[in-house]
Amino acid sequence: MANATGRPTPPLVLSEAEREYLERQVRKHRVARSLSERCRIILRCGEGVPSKVVADELGVHEHTVGKWRRRFLKDRLDGLLDEVRPGRPRTIDDDQIAAVIERTLRSTPSDATHWSIRSMAGATGFSHTTIRRIWNAFGLQPHRTETFKLSSDPLFVDKVRDIVGLYLSPPNRALVLSVDEKSQIQALDREQPVLPMMPGVPERRTHSYVRHGTTTLFAALDVASSFVIGKCYKRHRATEFLDFLKQIDASVPSDLDVHIVMDNYATHKTASVKNWLMRRPRYHVHFTPTSASWINQVERWFAELTRKQLRRGVHTSTMQLEADIRSFIERHNQNPKPKS
């Protein structure tokens, strides 16, 4: 489309392949914003929209639209890429970069378990800033390590499907409870008073502490409503677990079936616990796969308890610790957040 006055604008016609490429770049989340903007400009110009209108729609200057329109007409898709900028020529070629990457991935230094920036710089003869840029460009972080453990349970897939199916689509007239215990919760008191936070200064506490005993929390999380049934015990034997099951039984309406998700801890499989469950046919037990207790939803709630109440808590006795845990459960149950 030509402007009414001034220099005529040559028509911009896109081929099917060019239009598909431009639309793909616009949809990408990780493409550079500058390239995405240029692709939008060309797509709108290819629809016959005047440069001024395109500039107003995309919030750019009209000269910017004209610039990329001319470059596209001259070089097509290649014209949308940044031109080579003047500057110092490269002193390290691709083969040298590949050698650094290969050495980082396939070897270790003789005096350490992993490479550091300066040890790699000394081994290759490059500067430490060069090594840093190469590692950053390829996402290499030899100083970091993560752990993992694969479940050896032969029925891993079946158990995961069973438990996830309960979470996503619980049976009618049934309650799904994630049950577990958090043992050895320590009542810790600092040797000196905690110094409160001040502007520019974080809260400070002594590294050393005094332990005033431990307690164990048994908890059952209603997966649908996030309501928690919890009780603290001095020990975590089958006797305490059976007593906690009785508390669950007293709290759950008698006309509902109860599906319990729990791990393979020996306390959960004693003869007394099995007999108690067998005498109550409305209870259905679903054990998590071996080494996969992370699938038990109550573990996520334990993490919240630790982060919000226990990690920075100061307790001078187990009674005070248990009182704080009970208060946390009560506050949680006042406004539980159901799973989405």
Q: Identity (one letter) of the amino acid at 44?
A: R
Please report, for residues 238, 255, 258, 266, the alpha-carbon distance to residue 249 in angstroms, rounded to integers and kept in the order given: 16, 11, 9, 21
pLDDT tens column, 161-217? 999 999 998 888 899 999 999 999 999 998 888 888 999 999 888 888 899 999 999
46 in Cβ contact with 13 (< 8 Å): yes
Question: How far is Cα 48 from Cα 70, in angstroms, rounded to an integer?
Answer: 15
pLDDT at 1: 46
DSSP assignment of 245-277 equals HHHHHHHS-TTSEEEEEE---GGGGSHHHHHHH
pLDDT tens column, 68-110? 888 888 888 888 887 666 777 888 889 999 999 999 999 999 9
What proportion of the chain, given as a percentage, has pLDDT over 90?
55
- Tokens representing 121 are 């710089």
Cross-strand pairs, 285 = 260
Q: How confident is the model at residue 36 (pLDDT cuts 50, 70, 90)?
A: confident
Question: How far is Cα 163 from Cα 175, in angstroms, rounded to an integer?
Answer: 13
pLDDT tens column, 280-311? 999 999 999 998 888 999 999 999 999 999 98
Question: How far is Cα 216 from Cα 43, in angstroms, rounded to an integer?
Answer: 64
Where along the chain do its domains lie? 16-80, 94-138, 155-193+207-334
pLDDT at 44 over 70: yes
Question: How far is Cα 298 from Cα 98, in angstroms, rounded to an integer?
Answer: 47
pLDDT at 229: 94
Please identify, in words, the CATH class of the domain defined by 155-193+207-334.
Answer: alpha beta
Q: How confident is the model at residue 2 (pLDDT cuts 50, 70, 90)?
A: very low
Side-chain-side CA neighbours of residue 215 (13 Å): 22
- Tokens representing 37 are 């903007």
pLDDT at 38 over 90: no
From the CB of residue 181, how many other CB atoms can be counted at a distance below 10 Å? Answer: 24
Residue 134, H or E segment: helix 128-138
- Tokens representing 225 are 């409503």
pLDDT at 340 over 60: no
Question: How far is Cα 223 from Cα 203, in angstroms, rounded to an integer?
Answer: 35
User: With a threshold of 0.85, does the pTM exceed it?
Assistant: no
Question: How far is Cα 340 from Cα 121, in angstroms, rounded to an integer?
Answer: 50
Question: How far is Cα 220 from Cα 245, in angstroms, rounded to an integer?
Answer: 9
Residue 37: strand, helix, or coil: helix
Residue 185, H or E segment: strand 174-190
Polymer length in residues for the chain: 340
Task: Supply the Cα-derived Rg of the chain in whole angstroms.
Answer: 32
pLDDT at 262: 93
pLDDT tens column, 215-235? 999 999 999 899 999 999 998
Q: 145, 68, 75, 74: which is closest to 114 by C-alpha?
A: 145
156 in Cβ contact with 289 (< 8 Å): yes
DSSP 3-state percent helix, strand, coil across the chain (nearest 5): 45, 15, 40
158 in Cβ contact with 239 (< 8 Å): no
322 in Cβ contact with 231 (< 8 Å): no
